[in-house]
Chains A and B, each alone.
Chain A
Amino acid sequence: MRDLYKTLQIAPVSEVAAIEAALRDPARTRHPDARHARAILLNPSRRAQYDRVHSSLRHIGQLRSLVGLQSTAYAREHERDFGALQFDFRRVPIATRFGSFIASVRK
């Protein structure tokens, strides 16, 4: 599940006015998930149900990373925005990415 509040860079308990303001901001609505945020967060009944699962998942994601469990298949598929320790492969420098490979070739 996506974290739509993270997409809009607002707090999960924000008022409707704050969500509307964020959705008017072109810098934030450029995000591909902004469409989902508009369809769900501005609809009270959808938002209520989304918020319940959102808070449960935040809690579970926190526990996963505290216990050291964040990389199971289930978590990758269903809790993708909710692990506290998000590992982004693209941010790792190239030298580190292929470091072990290069070392093994050199042997």
Chain B
Amino acid sequence: MSLIDELNASASRIVDCVRFAAVWVGHIDHEFSEEERAAILMRLPDRARGMRLDQIVDYVRVGMIHTRATDLAKVFGYIRQSLSPESREPLMRLVCEVVAADGRVSIGERHAIAFLADLISKTRELPAIFEEETGLPWTAPPDLSDADYWDRLDAGHRERAEARGESASGPRSRNSSHRDSAGGSSKNSGVDAARAEALATLGLVGTPSAEELKAAYRRLARVHHPDRFQNLDEEAVGNATRTFQRINAAYGLLTR
């Protein structure tokens, strides 16, 4: 059965199309994470008469790998025509929440959201909605095809590394970051590795401030709280519990 047949047979077609759009946005950089999946299931859980989320994920994955965009385009065309005006803002909020669920918004995800906003004529409202849902400013994605952008980026890294090198020699060397100078002892690098992993768990890079840490922790904890998965099966609750514990441990380590 093709995707279009499946959607035509579905009793809740427009809801399935909205979930489809959300999965597509999450999948745009080929990394559909558990957090993004949980964010969709929280807002729009599986229903008895619609398509299951796993089915939708499979269709999106196949459609993107083989770049057979015609079926995907039909779904987006249907959303554009049939989504009621009052459901358009909730769709934008849903996709913003999905892309931020794993704590970071990639360049591809920004492009994908902008496409959806154009599709349902919410271009002008997008920055405000994005900032409300993710807590991040809406900035246009950087131009990766610009050699000057990369040179500026590298210069910035060098500068920051030098600044850190100077501060590491001071009395606050305990707080120095994981990208340390070559003279670090093995015990120190083990601590740094744990710290780097904790940062990655919270979706942060470098040396975030206390507010950034707290915001990232709150966002992830909200998504992964096991209580939210009580109406799903035991496996989902188990996964959420483990993830939640990992987030707590990472936050504890970084704020110690």
Contacts and interface: CB of A to CB of B under 8 A. Distances in A.
A104 interface: no
B119 interface: yes
Given A39-B147, A56-B29, A60-B115, A78 B140 contact: yes
Given A63-B76, A72-B118, A75-B118, A50 B69 contact: no
A60 B123 contact: no
Interface residues of B, number: 32
Contacts of B69: 59, 62-63, 66
A35 interface: yes
Interface in B78-136: 80, 106-108, 111-112, 114-115, 117-119, 123
Contact of A67 (B76, B108, B114): B76
A66 to B, nearest CB: 3
A12 B108 CA distance: 17
A46 to B, nearest CB: 6
Contacts of A78: 111, 114, 140-141, 143
A22 interface: no
Contact of A63 (B29, B72, B114, B146): B72
B146 A36 contact: yes
B144 interface: yes
A57 interface: yes
B230 interface: no
Contact of A2 (B112, B123, B140, B145): B145
A64 B111 contact: no
13 contacts: A1-B143, A40-B145, A46-B150, A50-B144, A53-B107, A56-B29, A57-B108, A57-B111, A60-B111, A62-B69, A74-B117, A74-B123, A78-B114
Closest 3 CB pairs of A and B: A66-B73, A56-B108, A39-B147
Interface of A: 1-4, 33, 35-36, 38-40, 43, 46, 49-50, 52-53, 56-60, 62-64, 66-67, 69, 72-75, 77-79
Interface of B: 28-30, 64, 67, 69-70, 72-73, 76-77, 80, 106-108, 111-112, 114-115, 117-119, 123, 140-141, 143-147, 150-151
